[in-house]
Amino acid sequence: MKYFWTGVVGLGLVFGPWVRVAGGSGGAGGGQEVNVAQLDGKSLMAMVASRENEATTHRGRYMYLSVERSDRTGGHEWTERVAETAWGKVRYLIAEDGQPLAADRLASERTRIEDEGKNPEIFKQEEAGKMEDEQHARQMMALLPKAFLFDQPQSEGGFWRINFHPNPQYQPSGMEEKVLHAMSGSVLVDGKSIRTHELEGRMPQDLSIGFGMLATIHAGSNFSTVRDHIDGYDWKTTLVHTDINGKALFLKTVARKQEAKHTEFKRIPEGISVADAVKMVEAD
C-alpha cells in the first residue's frame, strides 16, 4: 500500500472557450488556438497530461511556508519553512499548534537541520525514497487516460471541470492501481494554461482486495489537491486534503489523514545546495 498514498497525493504533487496553447503563464508552444468547448473529456485530459509533462522540464525551486496536520506531525499542526533542492525538501519547524517552539526545542530543531547541511549525503540518502515516490506518482498520473472514462468538460468561469469514473474495460495490476481505479472524481482545468488547478477523488463504495483478506478501503475515503499558478511555468500545490480509511492484512488499521496549506512562495536558485537551503530557512 506504500505507493498508493504517494500516488494519490502526487496526482495533484502531479488545464473563455478559446485557449491559446502558447507561451505565457504556464504555457509554451507554437501559438495554436484550441476550441476547448469542442473537445471531449479524454482529449482535454490528454492535452493536460502533455502540458504537465512539458512543465516538468521548466520547474523552478521555491521556498514556502507550510502548515500541516497529518500522520507525519503526530496529529499536531506544524508550521514549517520549506526549501526545495534537487535532492529533496529541507524542512524547518518553527511552530506547533499555532505556538512558537520553546527555546530548547527550537535549538534542537536548529541542530537537526544544521546537521543536514553539514552532512548532505545523509540528507540525500534519506530523501531518495521520497523522490522515488514522486516518480511513482507521475506514473500513476499517466494511468488516468487508460483507467478512467471522462465526461464532457463543463465550463466553470475560467476553468473546465471534467468528471471521471472507472473504465470497466481497464484491468488494474497491483494493489495501488486497484485502489485508484475504484475511485471517481473530477479534475478542474485552468482554461488559459491547460494545467491542473484541482483534482479530487472519492471511494463510492468499499473496495475489498483479496476478498478482504489483503485490504479493504472504506467507502467515503477521499482526497483533493489544489494548485495555483506562481510564476512562469510553475504551478505549486497550495492545499492538500487526504482522508483514507480501511484495514489491511491481519486487520491492521489503514488510515491516512493530511491537511496542508502552502503559502508565501519565493523563488530560490535552481542549483541551491543543501547547506545554503538550511541557511535560507533559518534566516527567513
Supply the pLDDT for residue 49. Answer: 84
Q: ∠252-257-263 over CA atoms, to 5°?
A: 155
Whole-number CA gyration radius for the chain = 20
More confident residue, 253 or 36: 36
Q: What is the mean pLDDT of residues 114-125?
A: 92
Amino acid at 219: A
Work out the pLDDT band at 212, boundaries 50, 70, 90.
low
Mean pLDDT of 160-188: 90
Average pLDDT of the chain, as a whole number: 83
Q: Which residue has the higher pLDDT, 10 or 204?
A: 204
Average pLDDT over residues 50-72: 89
Confidence grade of residue 14 (pLDDT, cut at 50, 70, 90): very low
The reported pLDDT for the residue numbered 37 is 80
What is the rounded distance in angstroms from the CA atom of residue 213 to the CA atom of residue 5? 19
Cell 519565493, located at residue: 266
- Helices 2-10 and 120-147 cross at an angle (nearest 10°) of 70
Q: Is this structure's pTM higher than 0.95?
A: no
Query: Domain segments of the chain: what residues?
Result: 2-283
* Mean pLDDT within 38-61: 86
For the chain, strand residue ranges (E) read 18-21, 32-35, 61-70, 77-85, 88-96, 99-100, 148-150, 154-156, 159-166, 184-190, 196-202, 207-209, 215-217, 222-231, 234-248, 253-268
Q: Of all residues in the chain, what percent carry a pLDDT higher than 70?
A: 80
Mean pLDDT confidence for 108-119: 95
Which of 138, 142, 141, 162 is CA-nearest to residue 150?
Answer: 162
Residue 137 has pLDDT above 80, yes or no: no
Q: How far apart are CA 197 and CA 17, in angstroms?
A: 17
Report the alpha-carbon angle 8-152-184, nearest 5: 30
User: Is 204 within 8 Å of 219 (Cβ atoms)?
Assistant: yes
- Report how far apart, in Å, the C-alpha atoms of 93 and of each of 37, 67, 119, 159 are: 46, 10, 19, 35
So what's the pLDDT on residue 16? 33
pLDDT at residue 190, rounded to an integer? 94
Instruction: Kindly indicate the confidence band of residue 29, based on its pLDDT and cuts at 50, 70 and 90.
Output: very low
Does the pLDDT of residue 34 top 70, yes or no? no
pLDDT at 253: 60
Q: 59 pLDDT exceeds 90?
A: no
List the Cα angle 122/242/205 in 5-degree steps.
135
Selection from 20-24, 35-39, 191-195 with the highest mean pLDDT: 191-195
pLDDT at 272: 96
Amino acid 13: pLDDT: 43
Model confidence at 19, pLDDT cuts 50, 70, 90, reads very low
Q: What percentage of residues in the chain have a pLDDT greater than 90?
A: 56
pLDDT one-digit tens code per residue, 248-266: 665 456 568 999 999 999 9
pLDDT reported for residue 20: 34
Q: Provide the sign of the torsion angle of the four alpha carbons 41, 42, 47, 49, taken in this order.
A: positive
pLDDT at 4 over 60: no
Supply the DSSP symbol for 195: -
